[in-house]
Amino acid sequence: MDKKTSDDLKSIVKEEYAHIAGQSREQNAASCCGAGGCGSAEYAVFAEDYAKLKGYNKDADLALGCGIPTEFAQIKEGDTVLDLGSGAGNDAFIAHTLVGDKGKVIGIDFTDTMIAKARANNEKLGFNNVEFRFGDIENMPVGAKTVDVVISNCVLNLVPDKRKAFAEIFRVLKVGGHFSISDVVLTRPLPPSILSAAEMYAGCVAGAMQKDDYLRVMREAGFDDGAIVKEKPGVLPDDVIAQYLHGEELDAFRRMPTPILSITVTGTRSRCCSPENACA
For the entire predicted model, the pTM comes to 0.86
Give the residue among 189, 101, 152 at the shortest CA–CA distance from 267.
Answer: 152
Among left, alpha and beta (phi > 0; psi -120 to 50; other), residue 72 is alpha
First-to-last alpha carbon distance for the chain, in angstroms, is 38
The CB density around residue 219, as the number of other CB atoms within 10 Å, is: 14
Give the residue among 2, 17, 1 at the shortest CA–CA distance from 159.
Answer: 17
Residue 135 reports pLDDT greater than 80: yes
Report the chain's mean pLDDT, rounded to a whole number: 84
Q: What angle do CA 136, 3, 29 make, to 5 degrees?
A: 55
How far is residue 58's CA from residue 121's CA, in Å, rounded to a whole number? 10
How far is residue 167's CA from residue 220's CA, in Å, rounded to a whole number? 9
How far is residue 146's CA from residue 2's CA, in Å, rounded to a whole number? 40
Residue 133 binned pLDDT confidence (cut-offs 50, 70, 90): very high
157 versus 9: which is more confidently predicted? Answer: 157
Lowest mean pLDDT among 32-41, 102-111, 211-220, 259-268: 32-41
Could you please state the CATH topology (level 3) that the domain comprising 6-268 is classified under: Rossmann fold (3.40.50)
Residue 277 binned pLDDT confidence (cut-offs 50, 70, 90): low
Give me the residue spans of the domains in the chain. 6-268
Amino acid at 7: D
Cα dihedral 134, 139, 145, 148, rounded to 10, equals 50
